[in-house]
């Protein structure tokens, strides 16, 4: 079964901006031949994918799979299966677990689970500070050696500037980014974006300035140290502008945006659906539009899901008590395709860039996110015509905290291939 011929699909190469009908021969986990016609005698298994789009396998730089410690919300297996159904071949898992991923053995644990499960590539992100409490730098080098691909205290900003400076100095020879959850907590004590809607609802806000000052400081430290900063989930138009200016000055910074910040605004909170409570918060239409522009211009490099499972019980609490975050790795592509590509706001190529070779580049994996002979066979096969309704029974995550239930989406992942291993989404859904 290691030799497979994939026939009749339309191959999209985002880096070259080309598409065309090609057959792909896969052997021992790699793409060995790409040609307009490969005879079926070349492989014992032939997969006919006429009518499907073949994309490089998607990569998510930001997800919460909750293992260890909160396996009732998600674990590495349910998270990986959701990812596969969403077309993701590699996912960075954030370290705000219990205990946090803040030493070598905990990073090794994630890597051993990845080996055991043999589903997607699970890429652990280690904490920046010991136990993620912001007091002391964690053993970054040891974690890097054990397989950590980046470092972040996600969920919390590293408020201690000297610590962040030190971490960014390290990042230069770790060849791994320092990922900042950029919100100054002293300015972000509320539960939603501070603006007209928060005034009407009488809820305390998290203003843009809480994000902007944090981004500003982190960019300044990256500039000073020459370190490598990655700004997680950019949500304010002004933060996007700061990143643009820093990039123009040559600061070594990359940035991500989530599907929810690209498709929703704070208007949605009028429904009082706590699924819309996220950090940083959903902001205004001008922010959403600026994020789209930033993505198109390459100021924001990638789309990352920030898939954040929580129980119904927690999300049924009131707005003040409910934990922030929503799930979405399983339909991130469909959500973006339906609400941004089909509406004409973003072209398909920009979306593919942000899900494939750009995140691969940030991870230092140049052979991921591209379809070339000799490269690992990481592929996502999508039916772009297929319309479907997001129903609870289709959700593979252990949690159901999404505001998109009942929503009609277009774009259905049929197959995901990870290093030559083929997964059928129909089989995953059972």
Buried b (16+ CB within 10 A) or exposed e, 101-111: bbbbebbbbbe
Closer to Zn ion by CB, 154 or 383: give it: 154
Task: Indicate the SS3 state at residue 141.
Answer: helix
Q: Which residues bind Zn ion (CB under 5 A)?
A: 154, 181, 232
**Non-local CB neighbours of 206 within 8 Å, separated by 6+ positions:** 183, 187, 188, 189, 190, 191, 192, 193, 194, 279, 280, 281
Q: How far is CA 5 from CA 25, 44, 144, 372, 422, in A?
A: 5, 8, 37, 15, 11
| Smallest gap from residue 182 Cβ to Zn ion (A) | 9
Paired sense of beta strands 192-193 and 58-63, if any: unpaired
Residues annotated as catalytic (active site), given as ranges: 306
H helices of 86-193, in order, are 104-117, 140-146, 161-174
| Smallest gap from residue 156 Cβ to Zn ion (A) | 8
Separation CA 15–CA 309 (nearest Å): 32
| Smallest gap from residue 238 Cβ to Zn ion (A) | 18
Closer to Zn ion by CB, 13 or 154: give it: 154
| Smallest gap from residue 212 Cβ to Zn ion (A) | 16
Closer to Zn ion by CB, 230 or 421: give it: 230
Separation CA 227–CA 60 (nearest Å): 22
Closer to Zn ion by CB, 227 or 324: give it: 324
Closer to Zn ion by CB, 56 or 95: give it: 95
């Amino acid at each position: 079964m290691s030799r497979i011929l994939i026939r009749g699909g339309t191959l999209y190469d985002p880096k070259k901006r080309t598409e065309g009908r090609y057959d792909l021969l896969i052997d021992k986990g790699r793409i060995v031949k790409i040609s307009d016609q490969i005879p079926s005698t070349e492989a014992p298994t032939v997969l006919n994918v006429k009518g499907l789009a073949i994309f490089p396998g998607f990569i998510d730089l930001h997800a919460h799979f909750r293992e260890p410690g909160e396996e009732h919300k998600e674990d590495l297996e349910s998270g990986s299966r959701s990812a596969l159904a969403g077309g993701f071949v590699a996912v960075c898992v954030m370290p705000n677990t219990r205990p946090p991923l803040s030493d070598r053995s905990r990073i090794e644990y994630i890597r051993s689970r990845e080996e055991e499960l043999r589903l997607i590539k699970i890429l652990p992100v280690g904490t920046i500070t010991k136990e993620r409490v912001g007091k002391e730098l964690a053993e970054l080098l040891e974690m890097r050696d054990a397989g950590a691909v980046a470092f972040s205290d996600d969920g919390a900003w590293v408020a201690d500037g000297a610590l962040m400076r030190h971490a960014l100095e390290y990042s230069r020879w770790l060849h791994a980014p320092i990922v900042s959850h950029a919100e100054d907590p002293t300015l972000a004590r509320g539960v939603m974006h501070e603006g007209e809607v928060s005034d009407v609802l009488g809820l305390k806000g998290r203003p843009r300035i809480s994000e902007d000052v944090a981004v500003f400081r982190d960019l300044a430290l990256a500039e000073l140290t020459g370190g490598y900063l990655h700004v997680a989930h950019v949500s304010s138009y002004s933060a996007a502008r700061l990143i643009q200016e820093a990039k123009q000055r040559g600061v070594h910074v990359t940035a991500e945006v989530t599907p929810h910040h690209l498709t929703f605004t704070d208007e949605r909170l009028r429904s009082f659906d706590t699924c819309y409570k996220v950090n940083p918060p959903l902001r205004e239409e001008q922010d959403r539009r600026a994020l789209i522009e930033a993505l198109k211009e390459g100021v924001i490099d990638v789309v990352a899901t920030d898939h954040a499972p929580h129980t119904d019980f927690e999300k049924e609490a009131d707005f003040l008590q409910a934990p922030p975050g929503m799930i979405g790795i399983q339909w991130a592509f469909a959500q973006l395709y339906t609400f941004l590509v089909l509406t004409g706001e973003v072209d398909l190529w920009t979306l593919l860039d942000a899900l494939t070779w750009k995140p691969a580049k940030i991870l230092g994996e140049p052979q991921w996110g591209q379809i070339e002979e000799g490269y690992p066979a990481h592929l996502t096969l999508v039916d772009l015509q297929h319309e479907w309704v997001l129903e609870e029974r289709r959700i593979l995550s252990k949690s159901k905290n999404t505001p998109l239930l009942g929503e009609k989406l277009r774009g259905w992942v049929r197959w995901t291939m990870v290093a030559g291993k083929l997964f059928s989404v129909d089989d995953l859904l059972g």
